[in-house]
Amino acid sequence: MVYLTGAGPGALDLLTIKALRVIREADVIIYDRLANPDILAEAKDGCEFIYVGKADSHHTLPQDQINEVIYQAAQKYDTVVRLKGGDPLVFGRGGEEALYLRKRGVKFEFIPGVTSAIAVPEYAGIPVTHRGITVSFRVVTGHEAAKEKSQIPWENYKSDDTIIFLMGLHRLNYIVEKLLEIGKPKDFPIAVISKGTWPDEKTVIGTLENIVQRAEGLQTPALIVVGRVVELHKELSWFESIDDQS
């Protein structure tokens, strides 16, 4: 059995109970860069670890080879955990891995993870929905393949929906330009949250006019939130100010 498992957004205590159970039972764990490495300490003695992480445009292994690594592990071991940051089906390519296994007769199961799209803004004191401000939100990839035509329907983003871009730090300037092109005002609120839910989380608040400059030097992984809900950060921030409150 292959468990396509969400590791959550980073903080160890945001791992689900079911994910922790299969990690402790695993014969092999195939993990990526965004999964908290402290999770591996929960594995049993003798568990094999295989790193297949990706950083920006550099891949330790291309996706088709990762699929094969998972398949070969399933031929060798009874319990395989494919550990992925966030949720396996939110830009995690878990669907591709599952299809690869299904075509080869390998049983799999999805174990949902707490998605960073909601958890990271929440840790920054930014609700993705809020009565009187917005009743919906969109989750968008911020990291499309450079050689491919964009699949992002920018014209649809003129509404007041909260927009969450995952993995978009290195394309922040492009994202800002596209939002301005569709008519978003220069003073529209935007936040960039680096290392969300980790002890060194850092949130930068700005507008479409100044966020690129303000976000310089932030580390990946980072998430971008666009919307009026960003204005609630000042009042609702709690995680980054815990030390100040103690």
Catalytic status, residue 244: no
Catalytic status, residue 167: yes
Q: CA-CA distance, 187 to 191, in Å (whole number)? A: 12
Q: Which of 1, 13, 27, 32 is catalytic?
A: 32
Q: Which of 54, 84, 184, 195 is catalytic?
A: 54
Catalytic status, residue 87: no
How many residues in the chain?
Answer: 246
Q: Which of 84, 87, 167, 184 is catalytic?
A: 167
Q: Annotated catalytic sites, by residue?
A: 32, 54, 167
